[in-house]
Amino acid sequence: MKTASNYNTDSGEKSDESSTDVQATFSCDKCDQKFNSRQELKEHTSTSH
C-alpha cells in the first residue's frame, strides 16, 4: 500500500516546467485555438461557435 509520503513533490525550482510553461493540449477544430483543459475547450466551443 502506497502512502502520500511515498510520492515525490517538486517545488518547481529545479524543474524546467512551471505552471506558466505548460503547453496547451486541447485545440479547437474550428479555429485551432489552444486550451489547457478539456473544460476550457468545451466552454470556448459552446460560446464561440
Query: How many structural domains does the chain have?
Result: 1
Residue 14 located in a structural domain? no
Residue 32 located in a structural domain? yes
Residue 3 located in a structural domain? no
HSE (side-chain half, CA atoms, 13 Å) at 5: 1
Q: If DSSP codes are grouped into helix, strand and coil, which group holds residue 15?
A: coil
Q: What is the pLDDT of residues 1-49, one digit of tens each?
A: 555 555 555 555 554 545 565 565 899 999 989 999 999 999 999 999 8
Residue 26 parent element (H or E): strand 26-27
Residue 12 located in a structural domain? no
Report field, pTM of the whole predicted structure over 0.85 = no
pLDDT at position 49 is 87
- What domain range is 31 assigned to? 23-49
Residue 9 located in a structural domain? no
Residue 4 located in a structural domain? no
